[in-house]
Amino acid sequence: ITIRPVIAPGTYNNAGTTPWVGAIIDRLGYDSLTYAIATGTLSDADATYTVLLEESNDSGMSGATAVADADLIGTEAAAGFTFADDGETRKLGYVGNARYTRLTITPAAANSGDSPIAAMAILGRPHSAPVT
């Protein structure tokens, strides 16, 4: 496998609903892709966090569209979390045909505190192994 950072581990401010847009992941040379999301202690008492996965064949995500449910292993809803999900992990698999994907996490009802979040892409089944 190869692991790539999507949303760098950090503490993100909850003072709004600004989406945390992840790095674009190029899956060229790999047959599987799973996103992993980890939370720390989420300090806002009523926040919810939705997850969106987009796909494109353009390296800049031009013309990106939301990934169809049939191209997911799991659901975006199940990958989301709330203020009560301290120290938990979520995963979302991609089985579509687009070369590039991008994960976005959007807070809602967030008005105070910080959210320690990290997301990674796990690329598997490389066409040429071992990978560095």
The pLDDT profile of the chain, 132 residues, written as one tens digit per residue, is: 999 999 999 887 766 678 899 999 999 999 999 999 999 988 777 888 999 999 999 999 999 999 999 999 999 999 999 989 999 999 999 999 999 999 999 988 766 677 889 999 999 999 999 988
Domains in the chain, CATH or no CATH each? 2-126 (2.60.120.380)
At a CB cut-off of 8 Å and minimum separation 6, what does 89 contact? 36, 37, 38, 39
Residue 132 confidence (pLDDT): 80
> HSE of 44 in the Cβ direction (CA atoms, 13 Å)?
25
Instruction: Give residue 29's Cα distance to chain centre.
Output: 20
Closest CA to 64 of 55, 52, 72: 55
Residue 98 confidence (pLDDT): 97
Three-class SS state of 119:
strand
